[in-house]
């Protein structure tokens, strides 16, 4: 199984809502990532978890809160988002340290 | 973070021709590079990678060249097919698990 799954595929939320994005992989990868991708732009690294510990936070606003409950799951909790946070949120996984990343299909988020 | 840039934002090629997509990186300490293909509505898909101790790596119909002297990376696609139409990104691994993507090149294959 070389698949990274993400749910939901699409999400529309208001600026006062709280929602969560989910990501799952069963490849035994111990590094997991969240990226944000705006239209016609490259993915931007947000967070990296290595062995279930947050190892990189690219100065992401606190309205985005990542969580890694176990080695297969990665969540991104969203609260009080702004319309400019509307984007495709991509999850990826890899073996730790400089190795091929597998990406999920992404969650298309719209903040109204 | 450090920028990884591409020379051309769009590229059109005839079906059957070879395609070359270029990428410039700025961090001489980067030791690992990946090329991704992203089709509309999908996540990036791994194509090929190369480590800094190599200058060339070949896959099926794809070749990556790394020139560390001028900090340049290229992806060559042989006998380009309509299914190759997509946006191509290079990504640079600065350290550990930090990957940074270039701006992307949109490849269009003309039948």
pLDDT score of A42 more than 70:
yes
Contact call for A33 and B97, based on CB within 8 A: yes
Amino acid A97: pLDDT: 67
pLDDT in tens, A82-94: 999 999 999 999 9
Closest-CA distance, A85 to chain B, in angstroms, reads 18
Helix (H, G, I), strand (E, B) or coil at A103: strand
pLDDT in tens, A73-82: 999 999 999 9
Q: Considering only CA atoms, which of A18, A31, A25, A37 is closest in space to residue A76? A: A18
Contact call for B101 and A44, based on CB within 8 A: yes
pLDDT in tens, B1-54: 344 654 458 999 999 999 999 999 878 888 899 999 999 989 999 999 999 999
Q: Considering only CA atoms, which of A40, A87, A107 is closest in space to residue B6? A: A40
Contact call for B97 and A94, based on CB within 8 A: yes
Q: In the structure encoding, which two tokens stand for residue B68, read together? A: 């560390």
Query: What order do you get walking across the sheet with A4-7 strand by strand?
Result: A4-7, A18-25, A73-79, A64-70
Is the Cβ of B1 closer than 8 Å to some Cβ of chain A? yes
The residue with tokens 């969650």 is A107
DSSP H or E stretch at residue A93: strand A87-94
Question: Biggest alpha carbon distance in chain B?
Answer: 42
Contact call for A41 and B103, based on CB within 8 A: yes
Is the Cβ of A98 closer than 8 Å to some Cβ of chain B? yes
Contact call for B43 and A45, based on CB within 8 A: no
Q: Considering only CA atoms, which of B79, B72, B75, B81 is closest in space to residue B52? A: B72
Contact A101, A91 (CB under 8 A): no
Closest-CA distance, A15 to chain B, in angstroms, reads 25
Q: What percent of chain A has pLDDT over 70?
A: 96
Q: In the structure encoding, which two tokens stand for residue B106, read together? A: 């949109």
Could you give the CA distance from residue B78 to residue A46 in angstroms, rounded to a whole number? Answer: 34
Taking CA atoms, what residue in A is nearest to B10?
A40
């Amino acid at each position: 199984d070389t698949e990274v799954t993400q749910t939901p595929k699409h999400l529309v939320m208001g600026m006062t809502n709280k929602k969560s994005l989910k990501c799952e992989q069963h490849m035994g990868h111990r590094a997991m990532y969240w990226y944000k991708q705006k239209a016609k732009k490259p993915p931007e690294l947000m967070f990296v978890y290595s062995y279930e510990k947050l190892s990189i936070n690219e100065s992401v606003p606190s309205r985005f809160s990542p969580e890694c409950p176990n080695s297969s799951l990665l969540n991104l909790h969203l609260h009080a988002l702004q319309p400019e946070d509307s984007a495709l949120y991509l999850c990826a996984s890899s073996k730790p340290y400089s190795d091929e990343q597998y990406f999920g299909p992404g969650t298309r988020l719209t903040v109204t | 973070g450090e920028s990884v840039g591409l020379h051309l934002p769009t590229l059109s090629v005839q079906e059957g021709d070879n395609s070359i997509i270029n990428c410039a990186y700025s961090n001489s300490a980067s030791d690992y590079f990946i090329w991704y293909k992203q089709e509309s509505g999908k996540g990036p898909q791994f194509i090929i990678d190369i480590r800094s101790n190599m200058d060339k790596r070949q896959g099926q119909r794809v070749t990556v060249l790394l020139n560390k002297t001028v900090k340049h990376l290229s992806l060559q696609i042989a006998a380009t097919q309509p299914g190759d139409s997509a946006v191509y990104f290079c990504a640079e691994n600065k350290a550990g698990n930090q990957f940074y993507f270039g701006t992307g090149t949109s490849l269009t294959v003309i039948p």
